[in-house]
């Protein structure tokens, strides 16, 4: 009966997106209205594992679910639908997912109508999907990064048929946005400007699971940003695996600096950020746009990965130790107050002590405000996974040396704004203290200060009274 009903619904579905998905959203809503009359609570939970792109996917899933009639819960035992959006950059992200879905077995045994679904990068890996289907048969819904927008269609089919739905695409020519999205913060939003990646760094699985780079239409991006500002958003973050190569895949599109400048000029937009640029594509034009627009945040996350030119070549990063340091010098000259952060991998296959010392030299020169440091994690399916590994004890010892080195060379930039009055976007209540709030400066540095909840979402002047290294305590003026 369920399959027959879905087939009938399918026959009447529009062919074009996103109209097709709104049609399925309405079908779910009608079904839930009936079930709610029978006592069905229609609650859904979405768990994000991974980066900002994964978090953005989570917002889309929540938005579709809410539009279809579900209320969002954070308690697994209350949920009728539990979805995970996943990351696969490092092995521990995969293990985190397995731990979470393993814990759901007892819930499914109590409630056979519970729908558990998984999407995101990890679901683009064939071996991982086979593992889930074999070890976790109670997961009924599996789809990948290229068809996240089809949640409503897949969910309705699963609800009606009670059968598993697994649909994975190797790529998609279609970019479908303009579907409902539930933001974590009403005053802050992320906007995808591109999907996928063309860089094929030898350690990275992303191009294989996210596909080749596709830039969105600039006018669609501008319309989305305008709508967000009209909805009260004060800060927008532009997202892409490599944001500053935006437009290179479409001759008719503007460049990333041109797009950034257009968005920065939108009336009412207080702050504009972007993640993540690649040093090889970081242009003088981009620096000039940042200098000329005060609402572009004073923060650049510039992944280094390694300071060794030889290792960077093995990584397929397309820049050298010398060119990276020259870029840092130029950034500091044009934007002297900028906060510079980075990513560094320790123990990449073939890394010698001399290579590691090159990384230490770049760290000392760059004086990063902070760094995300990782011990190399082999990802099956990448070229580097086949190469001989650096001994684990050597990697761990270098990792500890690097952490201390970063701390030492970031100290002179710590507290440089002490005593100043600066604008803080207030984000939330402090997790450690009942009467405190937490917010961020334009340069992404955290500030804790006393204040009432009414200030959350506002940009307020705060005097920075005490430096704690990577964050401040302050007072609202």
Q: Are 438 and 427 in contact (CB under 8 A)?
A: yes
CA distances from 61 to 117, 143, 181, 182, 194 (A): 11, 12, 7, 8, 18
Q: Is the dihedral of CA 287, 291, 293, 298 positive or negative?
A: positive
Give this prediction's pTM: 0.85
Q: For residue 470, how many other CB atoms are within 10 A of its CB?
A: 12
Residue 2 — pLDDT band, cuts 50, 70, 90? low
Q: Give the mean pLDDT of 321-328.
A: 98
Report which of residues 55 and 315 the model is more confident about: 315
For residue range 154-194, list pLDDT tens digits in order. Answer: 999 999 988 889 988 876 666 777 787 888 889 999 999 99
Q: Give the mean pLDDT of 381-393.
A: 94
Architecture of the domain whose range is 421-476: Beta Barrel (2.40)
What is the fold of 2-167?
Rossmann fold (3.40.50)
What is the fold of 183-295?
Transcription Regulator spoIIAA (3.30.750)
| Interacting residues of 299 by C-beta distance below 8 A, sequence separation 6+ | 273, 338, 339, 340, 341, 442, 443, 444
Q: Give the mean pLDDT of 284-306.
A: 97
Percent of the chain with pLDDT strictly greater than 90:
72
Q: Is the dihedral of CA 181, 187, 193, 194 positive or negative?
A: negative
Q: 51 among the known binding-site residues?
A: yes
Q: Are 25 and 152 in contact (CB under 8 A)?
A: yes
What is the fold of 298-413?
Transcription Regulator spoIIAA (3.30.750)
Q: Are 388 and 349 in contact (CB under 8 A)?
A: yes
Q: 297 among the known binding-site residues?
A: no
The per-residue pLDDT for 210 is: 79
Q: Are 302 and 347 in contact (CB under 8 A)?
A: no
The per-residue pLDDT for 173 is: 64
Q: Are 268 and 302 in contact (CB under 8 A)?
A: no
Q: Give the mean pLDDT of 444-469.
A: 94
Q: Rounded to an integer, what distance in angstroms lies between the CA atom of residue 471 and that of residue 467?
A: 6
Q: Give the mean pLDDT of 410-419.
A: 86
Residue 122 — pLDDT band, cuts 50, 70, 90? confident
- Per-residue pLDDT for 449 more than 70? yes
Q: 204 among the known binding-site residues?
A: yes
Q: Are 283 and 244 in contact (CB under 8 A)?
A: yes
Q: For residue 223, how many other CB atoms are within 10 A of its CB?
A: 13
- Per-residue pLDDT for 91 more than 80? no
Per-domain boundaries in the chain: 2-167, 183-295, 298-413, 421-476
Task: Tell me whether strands 194-195 and 214-215 are parallel, antiparallel or unpaired.
Answer: antiparallel
Q: Same CATH topology for 2-167 and 421-476?
A: no
Q: Are 359 and 317 in contact (CB under 8 A)?
A: no
Sheet holding 165-167, edge to edge: 71-72, 43-48, 81-86, 115-120, 141-143, 165-167
Q: Are 208 and 124 in contact (CB under 8 A)?
A: yes
Q: Give the mean pLDDT of 302-330.
A: 98
Q: Rounded to an integer, what distance in angstroms lies between the CA atom of residue 315 and that of residue 309?
A: 10
Residue 26 — pLDDT band, cuts 50, 70, 90? very high
**Nearest alpha carbon to residue 153 among 265, 279, 349, 6:** 6
Q: 197 among the known binding-site residues?
A: yes
Mean pLDDT, the chain, whole residue set: 92
Q: Rounded to an integer, what distance in angstroms lies between the CA atom of residue 79 and that of residue 127?
A: 28
Q: 225 among the known binding-site residues?
A: no
For residue range 216-257, list pLDDT tens digits in order. Answer: 999 999 999 999 999 999 999 999 989 999 999 888 789 999
Q: Rounded to an integer, what distance in angstroms lies between the CA atom of residue 208 and that of residue 243?
A: 18
Q: Which residue is it, tokens 């060379």?
A: 409
Q: Are 309 and 354 in contact (CB under 8 A)?
A: no
The per-residue pLDDT for 235 is: 97
- Per-residue pLDDT for 310 more than 80? yes
Angle between helix 256-264 and 284-292 (nearest 10): 10
* 48 φ/ψ angles, rounded to the nearest 5 degrees: -100, 125
**Which segment of 162-176, 280-294, 320-334, 386-400 scores lowest on mean pLDDT?**
162-176
Q: 254 among the known binding-site residues?
A: no
Q: Give the mean pLDDT of 4-19.
A: 88
The per-residue pLDDT for 54 is: 81
Residue 286 — pLDDT band, cuts 50, 70, 90? very high
- Per-residue pLDDT for 205 more than 70? yes
Q: Are 116 and 141 in contact (CB under 8 A)?
A: yes
| Interacting residues of 455 by C-beta distance below 8 A, sequence separation 6+ | 426, 437, 476
């Amino acid at each position: 009966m369920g399959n027959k009903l879905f087939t009938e619904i399918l026959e009447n579905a529009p062919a074009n997106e996103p109209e097709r998905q709104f049609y399925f959203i309405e079908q779910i809503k009608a079904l839930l209205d009936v079930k709610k009359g029978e006592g069905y609570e229609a609650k859904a939970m979405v768990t994000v594992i991974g980066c900002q792109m994964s978090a953005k996917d989570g917002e889309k899933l929540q938005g579709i679910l809410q539009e279809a009639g579900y209320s969002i819960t954070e308690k697994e035992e209350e949920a009728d639908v539990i979805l995970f959006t996943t990351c696969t950059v490092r092995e521990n992200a995969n293990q985190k997912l397995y731990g979470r879905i393993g814990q759901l077995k007892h819930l499914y045994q109590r409630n056979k109508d519970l729908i558990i679904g998984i999407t995101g990068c990890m679901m683009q890996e064939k071996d991982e999907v086979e593992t889930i289907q074999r070890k976790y048969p109670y997961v009924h819904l599996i789809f990948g990064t290229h068809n996240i927008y089809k949640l409503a269609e897949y969910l309705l089919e699963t609800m009606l048929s009670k059968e598993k739905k697994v649909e994975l695409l190797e790529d998609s020519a279609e970019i479908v946005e303009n579907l409902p999205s539930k933001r974590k913060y009403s005053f802050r939003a992320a906007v995808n400007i591109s999907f996928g990646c063309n860089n094929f760094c030898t350690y990275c699985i992303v191009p294989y699971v996210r596909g080749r780079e596709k830039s969105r239409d600039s006018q669609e991006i501008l319309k989305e940003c305008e709508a967000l500002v009209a909805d009260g958003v004060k800060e927008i973050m532009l997202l892409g695996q490599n944001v500053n190569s935006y437009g290179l895949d479409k001759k008719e599109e503007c460049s990333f600096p041109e797009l950034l400048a257009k968005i920065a000029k939108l009336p009412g937009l207080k702050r504009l950020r972007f993640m993540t640029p690649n040093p090889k594509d970081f242009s003088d034009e981009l620096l000039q746009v940042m200098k000329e627009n005060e609402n572009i945040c004073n923060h650049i996350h510039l992944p280094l990965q390694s300071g060794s030119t030889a290792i960077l070549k093995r990584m397929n990063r397309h820049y050298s130790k010398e060119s990276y340091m020259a870029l840092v010098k130029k950034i500091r000259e044009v934007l002297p107050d900028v906060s510079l952060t980075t990513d560094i991998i320790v123990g990449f296959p073939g890394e010698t002590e001399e290579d590691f010392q090159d990384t230490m030299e770049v760290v000392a020169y760059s004086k990063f405000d902070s760094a995300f440091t990782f011990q190399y994690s082999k990802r099956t399916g990448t070229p580097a996974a086949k190469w001989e590994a650096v001994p684990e004890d050597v990697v761990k010892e270098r990792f500890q040396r690097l952490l201390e080195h970063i701390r030492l060379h970031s100290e002179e930039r710590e507290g440089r704004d002490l005593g100043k009055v600066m604008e803080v976007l207030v984000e939330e209540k402090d997790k450690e203290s009942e009467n405190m709030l937490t917010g961020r400066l334009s340069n992404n540095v955290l500030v804790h200060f006393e204040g009432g909840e009414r200030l959350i979402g506002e940009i307020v002047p705060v005097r920075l009274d005490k430096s704690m290294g990577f964050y401040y305590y302050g007072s609202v003026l």
